[in-house]
Amino acid sequence: MDQVTAPIFDIQRFSLHDGPGIRTLVFFKGCNLHCAWCQNPESQDVEPLVAFYTDRCNRSFDFLKACPREAINRDGFRIDYAKCDNCLACVEACSQNALRLIGEHMTPEHLFTSLMADLPYYRSSGGGVTFSGGEPTLYPKFIDQMLNLCGEEGIHTAIETCGTYSPDRWQPILNKLGLIYFDLKIIDSERHIKATGRDNKQILSNARRLVEQGLPVEFRVPLVDGYTDNHEDLQDITNFVKELKQSHIHLLSYHNMGESKIDIINGSQNTLGLKTYDACRYREIKEWFSSQDIKIFDE
């Protein structure tokens, strides 16, 4: 039988967000949405790839000679991914760490061993592990095995999902999670397709189902200027949240750090040219939800 693996592109330790206590965030590579405002554009493709951080490059170009496939374009600071086979010769040759592999296939056992270094912090703070991305639900077997391993140690687990998963495949796995963060981006189907590349029928159905089953779900709404924060959008979210009888939601303010990451992977995503979400507008929206009897979780 093939060994189960999943591509992980980052592990962030000692986070005080994304769940109770001190947490380790595990970021999976690959996503089935393409949100216009994605803050992790390097996470969207499933396959690991070499990123080129031009701001670190001292222009000595030592790594050019190292590439056996002539896959690096010196002038454009670009990697031709059609030629690159991830041999990592350039990564090893670059003294400035200007080239870095994003994503590494790991087994559940390998990841779990790495997470166990943080076990004392989980124990002392009531913390645990949060699976994020990208979209972690692309890897049901992997997450299922991780949940079994964490369960044996009594480690709290959470997941952050855009909600596009198959409910039948995921049902037994969802039952093992301590907390499910579920994104509600846009309720209007046409506008959702335009902003994310996919309709939201499955997402809304999965949201209803989680609530019906009494699973520990918290909904999160991204605030992106002109994409998710129009009055109609906020009213739609309010109606949906009330239909689900939820008293609280999270608001996630857009920040523009993702834009600088598009270049490192030759990304085709257009930059939105937006600033980090305005703090006054955030407060207005928070108050507006409050006037609708919907509270905002403290971040």
Interface positions with ligand SF4 (CB under 6 A): 31, 33-35, 38, 40, 43-44, 50, 66-67, 69, 71-72, 79, 84-90, 133-135, 162
Nearer to ligand SF4, 38 or 150 (CB): 38
Q: Give the shortest CB-291-to-ligand SF4 separation in angstroms.
A: 28
Residues 6+ apart with CB under 8 A from 231: none
Give the integer Cα–Cα distance in Å for 156 and 219: 19
Is the Cβ of residue 22 or residue 143 nearer to ligand SF4 in the bound state? 143
Q: How far is the CB of 196 from ligand SF4 (least distance, A)?
A: 6
Q: How far is the CB of 122 from ligand SF4 (least distance, A)?
A: 25
H or E stretch at 168: helix 167-174
Count the neighbouring beta carbons within 10 Å of the beta carbon of residue 17.
9
User: Are the beta carbons of 285 and 294 closer than 8 angstroms?
Assistant: no
Q: How far is the CB of 217 from ligand SF4 (least distance, A)?
A: 17
Burial of 290 by CB count in 10 Å (0-12 exposed, 13-18 middle, 19+ buried)?
exposed
- Closest to ligand SF4 by CB, 155 vs 159, is 159
CA distance 101 to 127: 29
Supply the minimum distance, in Å, between the C-beta of residue 281 and ligand SF4. 20
Residues 249, 239: Cα–Cα separation, whole Å: 13
Residue closer to ligand SF4 by CB (options 112, 219) is 219
> Which of residues 186 and 241 has its CB atom nearest to ligand SF4 in the complex?
186
